[in-house]
Amino acid sequence: MRNSTTGWLLIAPTLFILFITGFVPFIYVLVVSFFDWNTFAQNPEPTFTGADNFRELVFDKAFLKSIWLTLKFTAFVLISQLVIGLFLARMLLRNVPLKGLFRTIHTLPLMIAPIAVGATWRLLTVPGLGPIPHYLKSWFGIDYILSRFPDQAFATVVIMDIWHWTPLVTLTLMAGLSNLPEEPLEQARIDGASEWRIFWDITLAFLKPVLLTTIFIRLMDALRTVDEVWMLTGGGPGAETRFIGLHIWRVVFPKTDYGYGSAMSLITLYLTIVMCWLLYVAMTGMKENKA
């Protein structure tokens, strides 16, 4: 009993901070989402409108487009980062030359703030100044103008995110791979299983908890990407890279449409939770089925 009380006392400060910084803002956003509130409207006071904001969202083409773009972006970066990260993690656990140097360089992007990553990529890609458009034009005759061609902008944003966050996936998977038990792998080899079979049926199966954690972290990060993209493309050209975080920011801050923006935030939070839950059920369900 005493232990339990001490435990609660020890975690009380953390719970208090979480309550203030997490729960209270959430309730505030929840309440605001039921109001029409734009401080630059003729009536700047909040007006209760029930579920109108949510109803409007269902038909809001700009919102639906930004959701679709975000899901597309998330799918691209998540799959790419897992494949490349797993490949690099396996490679870096072997005795390859210059392994240490590569691991250090590979990890460097993780230390850069997202806004600085966006700024760096902007400098690399801006026409008339950046080396990438210059060399693509002079070597291959390719017009690489992010602000004019939506596909190029989207692809560059995806590549930037992969460059920035793959090292995190690599490091996490390296930790997971280096903790795998040796016995099942050795037994499989003695039984004559192919390397592919060993990887698919044993390595991946043991790696599943680490994979699941990594996927969750990256999924949530990708769904709320704002600063890198804001710096690189500003959401353009047009609205072709205006992911949901950026879209909400524009609605809430420059447009000061607080009620509608809050409703968007809640729907996005709901979607994120649903996606994580589906993923969790899918991955743990697979395990149970196999068992």
Report the interface residues with another protein, using CB under 8 A: 36, 38-44, 62, 126-129, 133, 143, 145-148, 150, 233-242, 250-251, 253-257
Our CB check for another protein shows the closer of 143 and 195 to be: 143
Least separation, in Å, of the C-beta of 176 and another protein? 39
Among left, alpha and beta (phi > 0; psi -120 to 50; other), residue 112 is: beta
| Amino acid identity at 191 | D
Query: In terms of CB distance, is 218 or 242 closer to another protein?
Result: 242
CA 40 remoteness from chain centre = 33
**CB 20 to another protein: min, Å:** 17
Nearer residue to another protein within complex by CB, 161 or 240? 240
Helices (H), 108-203: 114-125, 131-140, 150-178, 182-190, 195-198
Q: Which residues pair with 48 in a beta bridge?
A: 35
CB of 67 to another protein, least distance (A): 16
Give the nearest distance from C-beta 143 to another protein in angstroms: 7
Per the CB < 8 A criterion, the answer to whether 211 and 173 are in contact is: yes
**What tokens were used for 184?**
């099942």
E strand or H helix that includes residue 251:
helix 244-252
Cβ 44 to another protein shortest distance, Å? 7
Measured CA to CA, the distance from residue 8 to residue 1 in angstroms comes to 11
- Which CB atom, from 54 or from 102, has the smaller least distance to another protein? 54
Tell me the torsion sign for CA atoms 57, 61, 63, 65.
positive
Which residue, 184 or 237, has its beta carbon nearer to another protein? Answer: 237
CB of 280 to another protein, least distance (A): 36
* 162 CB-side CA count, 13 A: 18
Our CB check for another protein shows the closer of 147 and 272 to be 147
